[in-house]
Structure 1
Amino acid sequence: MKNFKSKIAAQMYSVRKEFAEDAEGTLRRLREIGFEAVQLDGMRGNDPLKVAALLKKYHFQVAGMHIKHERFFNDVDGIIEEVYLFGCKTIFDKYIDDDEQNEQGYRKTKATLLEVAQKLSPLGFRVGIHNPEYDYNHLVDGRKVIDFITDPVNGICIYPEPDTYWMTIAGENPVETIKKYSGRAPILHLKDYQSGYDLNDMENNLIEVGSGEIDMKSVVQWGEENGVEYYCVEQDYSRIGIFESLKIGFDYLVSLEREL
């Protein structure tokens, strides 16, 4: 069983620019902060073999992988090859493409993800979807999109990857909303929020984990009781330097261990 600190992962979208410019330096900095796991979000121009070697060099576990939406439709073999390379069988559709953010697109997405999951589940894969705010604001068959897509069909489940920030932006209470995902949300995205800005002003209303208004302690307590394997710290923007922002979030989560 993992110790709590090892369950705190850095979402690599946070350091997308840094990773593109200096992959090894970026991973070294994350390890110095204390992270023992990362969640991959594309190679950012790096050779996948090089990235795999660096992850091994710095002793990182891979806490799931975010995969571009279109690849689930036309590059399943490529996804399998990547996942085996990185030793991680939990894959998420990171974001439904803009032109498919409609009822037809949502139905198509669910059908395709279920088809992929049906093929890959026997190999030990878990197929999931990451939620932005529209997954809570739009409906299909009277169900919020995230619920529609992750509702099981014939015993096959698309795993939700709840995101505390996007739930908040959508007017949800993350502490209450995540309760419906008990046992089927192995990875949570932790992003914090501060009010006083336009909901679309992410550069200002997104703040370091533990520094905002989301009850992260309650989220993590729920996670520890309901099968969460990794807590991914994601910081899309930073006003103080991305590594400093990630360190604040990491240190805050580590401090919670005494209260869990």
Structure 2
Amino acid sequence: MTQVGLQLYTVREEMEQDFRGTLEKVAALGYKGVEFHTFFGHGADEVKSMLDELGLVALGTHTSYGQLLEHLDAEIAYNKQIGNDTLIVPYLQAEERVWEDVFANLRKLGRRAREQGAVLAYHNHEFELTEQLDGKPVFDAMYEAVPAEDLQVEMDTCWVHYGGYDAVEYIGRYKGRLPIIHLKDMTRDADGKAITAELGVGEVDLKGIADAAIEAGVEWIVVEQDYCAGGKPLESIATSMEWIKKYAAEGAKLNV
């Protein structure tokens, strides 16, 4: 059954100030898993102990492209110690977006990860949808260029929406290669730029996306809010969990 996790980037300041205490609060809200973006200097054994005590699963780690290129083996080893086998490229800087080089490197990284019993995935923003390569979005060109066995999809459905595409249709398109989605909501400023928001307060078709993800066999629906306008991320993730629980209470096959 599909489970619900949190990308800890949402509560990054809280994590830096009180790593364990923040994990406790995340678990108390009902999130079953957590996706890391940094470990703030904590050792793998220490992190694993905290997760076990709190009943949390390490569902993935966002690890920079450069770090994967330079230190893949060490990153895999650390993550395996905390019980995680999924390493995710979270973002490419503009100067890194030489796509043929990126695709070649992802093939190599994915193969090396697979040989060590790990999984490589890629997390999109809107530019992979708005930028074209050979007449198609970079998003699609990437997954055509790199075999599924070497690169899985972590689809940020909000950025697919903001990029001008139908996230529900994209979930169906990548069914079977899509272990994780990010579920986030958004509003827009006066210039039409995205403002990430708590689930249920913006324009994204959250129910349609979540329904499609569950039908597609997605393992983890991960809540993420890049920036919390109210300045209180713990309150924001509590509000988003309220939406999740209401959605589940209406019959969704979610483990919450």
TM-score, shorter chain, exceeding 0.5: yes
Of 104, 108, 112, 1:115 maps to 108
Deviation at 1:178, TM superposition (A): 2.4
Say if 2:106 and 2:146, in contact at 8 Å, map to a contact too. no
Correspondence for 1:259: 251
SS in 2 for 1:129: strand
- What are the Cα deviations for residues 114-171 of structure 1, in whole angstroms up to 9, with x where unaligned? 1121122244322111001111111222231111222255664411211122122212
SS in 2 for 1:246: helix
**235-244 or 67-76: which moved more?**
235-244
Say if 1:136 and 1:146, in contact at 8 Å, map to a contact too. yes
Structure 1 gap segments, 5+ residues each: none
Alignment of 1:69-218 (within 5 A): 69-101=65-97, 105-151=98-144, 153=146, 156-200=149-193, 202=194, 205-218=195-208
Please tell me whether residue 234 in structure 1 is matched to residue 215 in structure 2: no
How far apart, CA to CA, are the structure 1 residues paired with 2:150 and 2:69? 18
Alignment of 1:13-92 (within 5 A): 13-92=9-88
Deviation at 1:48, TM superposition (A): 3.7
What is the percent sequence identity of the aligned residues? 27
Structure 2 gap segments, 5+ residues each: none
Query: Cα–Cα, structure 1 residues 154 and 242, in superposed 2: closer, same or farther, change >3 Å?
Result: closer
SS in 2 for 1:235: coil
Say if 2:6 and 2:35, in contact at 8 Å, map to a contact too. yes
Please tell me whether residue 243 in structure 1 is matched to residue 239 in structure 2: no
Query: Cα–Cα, structure 1 residues 227 and 122, in superposed 2: closer, same or farther, change >3 Å?
Result: farther
SS in 1 for 2:65: coil
- What are the Cα deviations for residues 32-62 of structure 1, in whole angstroms up to 9, with x where unaligned? 1111210111113434432222112211111
Say if 1:133 and 1:169, in contact at 8 Å, map to a contact too. yes
Deviation at 1:175, TM superposition (A): 2.1
How far apart, CA to CA, are the structure 2 residues paired with 1:111 and 1:152? 8
Paired amino acid for 2:142: I
How far apart, CA to CA, are the structure 1 residues paired with 2:184 and 2:148? 31
Deviation at 1:10, TM superposition (A): 0.8
Q: What's the C-alpha RMSD, in Å, of the aligned pairs?
A: 1.8
Say if 1:114 and 1:156, in contact at 8 Å, map to a contact too. no
Paired amino acid for 1:145: V
Query: Cα–Cα, structure 1 residues 155 and 17, in superposed 2: closer, same or farther, change >3 Å?
Result: closer
Say if 1:72 and 1:113, in contact at 8 Å, map to a contact too. no
Paired amino acid for 2:215: E
Paired amino acid for 1:144: P
SS in 2 for 1:259: coil
How far apart, CA to CA, are the structure 2 residues paired with 1:154 and 1:253? 33
When the two structures are superposed, what TM-score results if normalisation uses the length of structure 2? 0.90
Say if 2:131 and 2:137, in contact at 8 Å, map to a contact too. yes
SS in 2 for 1:52: helix
Deviation at 1:199, TM superposition (A): 3.8
Say if 2:61 and 2:88, in contact at 8 Å, map to a contact too. yes
SS in 1 for 2:191: coil
Say if 2:33 and 2:59, in contact at 8 Å, map to a contact too. yes
Say if 1:151 and 1:158, in contact at 8 Å, map to a contact too. no
